[in-house]
Structure 1
C-alpha cells in the first residue's frame, strides 16, 4: 500500500513539475558524469509481452547509493506520447533509507545538465532501500509509466 501511495505521490509531483517547468539545458558531453543506463535486450520483454527484469548494474547501484548520485526517472506525461525525464539527487543514506532531493524541473533529455545551483529542491523524500529498488520497475496502475532508467555517479 505504501508503495502505491509513493508512486501516486511521485506521479503527482512529476505532473505538477511538467506543468510548471521548462526543459533543462543538455549537458556538455565532455563534462558528463558516469552513467548506468537501464537497457533491456531485444526480446519478447522489450516489445511488452513480458516485464523485463531490471538491469543488474542499475540494481546494484540503487542498493548501494552514494551521496550525490543522480537518479534519472523516465515517465510519459498525461496526454503525451514522448518520454520526459525527472531527476533526484541522493542527499543522505543510512543502512535502511535513502533521502532524495527532487529536481525543480524536468527535461526531454536524460543527459540534461543538473549541476546548476538550485536545480534540486531542499525537501528530501525518504525511501526505504526496498522502496528505492521498486523504482526500477513500473508499478501496476501507474498511468505515467514511471521507472528509474539511469543512475549518474561521479567517478
Structure 2
C-alpha cells in the first residue's frame, strides 16, 4: 500500500502494490499552506512513512492530546466547553519524513513537528485547507484507512 496526498486537490489516494487506486478521500491540510519549518503550521511536502499507528480499537470520536486518549468522546457540548481546541480524534497515523534536510532532522523534521493524519469533528469541512499542519480526515474514512495500512507505509505529500 502507498498513500498519495494532493494538497491542491485536497485529496488522498490509497494505492495497492500495483499502483492502482483502491480508495480516494477528501482531506483538509494546513490553512497556512505547505512548508517544512517547525512552527510554520504548514503541511510538509515530500516522501514520508507512517512511523506509528495510534488509537486502534478506540471508539470513534475518541479525543487525543499528545497522542494519548483523554477519556473524552467528542460532542458538540464538549466543543462548546473548549472552543479553541484543535481536535485530534479517533485514530492517529504519525508521519516521519524520509528526506534528510527537507522533511527529516533539524528544524524540518516532520515527526518532531508532530504531523499526523488524524480524525476531526464531522462538522469540519473537507476539501478545504483548515488544519494547523496535519492532514485531517473524516472519522469514518480514517477508521477504514487505519485498518488497511501498517507502520512503514509510504506516504507522499504532493503540492
User: TM-score, with normalisation over the residues of structure 1?
Assistant: 0.32
Structure having the larger proportion of residues in strand: 2
Structure having the larger proportion of residues in helix: 1
